[in-house]
Amino acid sequence: MMNATEINYFKLTAYSDNSMFKYLFFLVLMSLYVLIVSANVFLIVIICMNRSLHEPMYLFLVSLFVNQLYGSALLFPFLLVQILSDIHTVSAAVCFLQIFCLYSYAGVEFFNLAVMSYDRYLAICYPLQYNTHMSCKRVAFLIAASWFPPFLIIVITTSLSFSLQLCGNIINKVYCDNYSIVKLACSDTTVNNIYGLFMTLLTIISLLTLILYTYMKILRVCFSGSKQTRQKALSTCTPHLASLLNFFFGCMFEVVQSRFNMNSVPSMLRIFLSLYFLTCQPFFNPVLYGLKLSKIRHACKSLFSVK
């Protein structure tokens, strides 16, 4: 029996070694990474530089963009190196660091989107009391609440997985994930399974309940309100709903990759499904919010306009 201390590295078997596509795939992924970093940094700077954008909604967007930079910066360089490598291995320490980064990024993203739903609910359903409800202290508390609980949950998850005794080191993906590590365990995983299932259900049920409740209230106000109210709700909620759907699609692809045997699926498709979760949300959100929110568009225009 092998234990966790005896396994120094893991083999990632989902990569394609076809040299014909390897360099093309590297260039595509590198270009996408540059665009992700540029777009997120650009919008963070735009929001921070314009006092007219120092409102709760845009501060929550900054939190969202910072999280996307965090997830991208900690995973993209590794992926780029692995694409060009002939031996697709990762050390045990880096593997568990990847697990922590991947799940904490996803958790913070989900918490941020839930907080943004609550913000839109207050802005549309209680516009006169919005500034009272969304004070500076409340905004700071909600941003902290978007980051601290996911990190705490994932620290415990990673610690439980790190203490497992493992009987293998082959992971059929392009990066490490917690479920793949647990599947390699030859020791008792009851605590891991119970904790993982409990925290996953608690997080998903509580945040989805909040999101569904807020949007039910928003829809109720839209249908009973004026045309101006409906237009305001659509202009601010459409990007958020699109971001939520894109996030859930990414999570669904990740679950399918982890839970089902994908050996019969072409290698390039498996890589795409793995990377959708990491690339589409960080790339999709800045473009979506930059194009849809008029205040951000005006701030961008004023920045590049020549007097």
The mean per-residue pLDDT over the stretch 259-276 comes to 70
- Bigger pLDDT: 17 vs 87: 87
pLDDT attached to residue 16: 65
CATH label of the domain that carries residue 97: 1.20.1070.10
Please give the structure tokens belonging to residue 252: 């669904």
Helices 92-125 and 136-162 pack at an angle, to 10 degrees, of 150
- Bigger pLDDT: 97 vs 13: 97
Q: Is the confidence at residue 163, as pLDDT, over 70?
A: yes
Alpha-carbon distance of 184 to 99, in angstroms, equals 15
Number of domains in the chain: 1
Q: Is the confidence at residue 35, as pLDDT, over 50?
A: yes
pLDDT attached to residue 203: 92
pLDDT attached to residue 207: 93
The string of DSSP codes covering 85-128 is -SS-EEEHHHHHHHHHHHHHHHHHHHHHHHHHHHHHHHHHH-TT
pLDDT attached to residue 223: 76
Q: Is the confidence at residue 263, as pLDDT, over 70?
A: no
pLDDT digits (tens, 9 = 90+) for 99-142: 999 899 999 999 999 999 999 999 888 888 888 889 999 999 99
Alpha-carbon distance of 253 to 244, in angstroms, equals 14
Classify the C-alpha dihedral 273-254-162-185 as positive or negative: negative
Alpha-carbon distance of 147 to 150, in angstroms, equals 6
What pairs with residue 90 in β-bridges? Answer: 10
pLDDT digits (tens, 9 = 90+) for 139-148: 999 999 999 9
% of residues, the chain, pLDDT over 90? 31
The mean per-residue pLDDT over the stretch 205-210 comes to 93
Alpha-carbon distance of 36 to 300, in angstroms, equals 17
**Domain membership of residue 245 as a residue range:** 4-304
Mean pLDDT over the full length of the chain: 84
Q: Is the confidence at residue 3, as pLDDT, over 70?
A: no
pLDDT attached to residue 18: 62
The model's confidence at residue 1, banded by pLDDT at 50, 70 and 90, is very low
pLDDT digits (tens, 9 = 90+) for 178-204: 888 888 888 888 899 899 889 989 999
What is the pTM for the complete model shown? 0.89
Please give the structure tokens belonging to residue 35: 């665009």
pLDDT attached to residue 195: 92
Please give the structure tokens belonging to residue 188: 């008792």
> Nearest 10 degrees: CA dihedral of 181, 185, 190, 196?
0
